[in-house]
Amino acid sequence: MNIAVFADIHGRVVLAFKLCARWQAETGQHIDLILQAGDLGAFPDLGELDKATRRFAEKDPTELGFAEHFARRDPKIEVMLAHTTAPMVFVRGNHEDHRWLDELERESAEPLFPVDAYGRIFCLKTGVPYVHTVGDETITIIGIGRIGLPEDSHKREDKHIQPYESRRLWDVGVDRCDVLLTHDTALDSVTVRMGMQEICDALDLFEPACHFHGHIGGRYTSRLDDNGITQVHKLADLHWSSNKLVREGSMGMLVWHSEEEHRFEVVDAPWLAEYSIYTWQHVEP
């Protein structure tokens, strides 16, 4: 199966789906699943924006793309979405409407719950395995949403991992997973005393083949985790670089057949240059 991977898209959900449709058109292959590593920008009510999102949106209105295009049905968006069939599965970042997501999560008994008007975008609960099957190929994904509570902080906010989510990670019911999808980094993996201990523990416990995350900005990076098994991929934000083109390393493709047979590569194709800050809304698949 083919799995597209993005990290921080901050409201640019339409762009992510457009890039997936274009990849399909260019390669003649089908995308079966889209993974998104938090900071989707899931704010259906603009009155609930956090301060950072509000500030960035003043300079770049695409930060508000979820509310504009996915909180209610839009015939033009339905036409665009029809070019793909893959669901988008995301974990919470620190820039989402967490109170709204909490309500939706409480109403769902499934690992995933839908958040958009079209039934194409699903939030993955922290610590609840999700199994995706295509034909005779199966992949198991465990997500850890939000960010870690800093050691020197005495106030747990909605953006921080909640105690019930931490507890749920130790009652998963599986010994291994194939992909760990998180927003934050593992504690101390990038910066001392920053990150999440739960991610460190999950990497050691589940020994996934791949770990995808975002949160810290910067270019795409890849490294082998200390467990000696997991390849850790930090995707670049889905945004525009200094030349006004889609940032390099912001879209990846995981070709998954089995734990023993899979590969991941960053999408680096000439057609990406067509998606500039000025033209992306007008480019068709």
Q: How deeply is 185 buried, as exposed, middle or buried, from its count of CB atoms within 10 A (0-12, 13-18, 19+)?
A: buried
CATH number, residue 264? 3.60.21.10
Which residues, at least 6 apart from 268, have a Cβ–Cβ distance to it below 8 Å?
248
Q: Is the pLDDT of residue 126 over 90?
A: yes
Residue 89 host element (H or E): strand 88-90
Q: Is the pLDDT of residue 103 over 80?
A: yes
The tally of domains found in the chain comes to: 1
Q: Which pairs from 198-203 meet CB under 8 Å and 24+ separation? A: 198/144, 198/148, 198/161, 198/166, 198/169, 199/144, 199/148, 201/169, 202/142, 202/144, 202/169, 203/227, 203/230
Q: How confident is the model at residue 151 (pLDDT cuts 50, 70, 90)?
A: confident
Q: What's the CA gap between 214 and 259, in Å, rounded?
A: 23
Interval 178-189 mean pLDDT = 95
Domain that holds residue 65: 2-282
Give the pLDDT of residue 85: 97
Q: How confident is the model at residue 264 (pLDDT cuts 50, 70, 90)?
A: very high
Model pTM score: 0.97
Which residue is associated with the tokens 């390393």? 249
Q: How confident is the model at residue 152 (pLDDT cuts 50, 70, 90)?
A: confident
Report the chain's mean pLDDT, rounded to a whole number.
95
Sheet holding 2-6, edge to edge: 112-114, 121-124, 88-90, 33-36, 2-6, 252-256, 262-266
Give the pLDDT of residue 197: 95
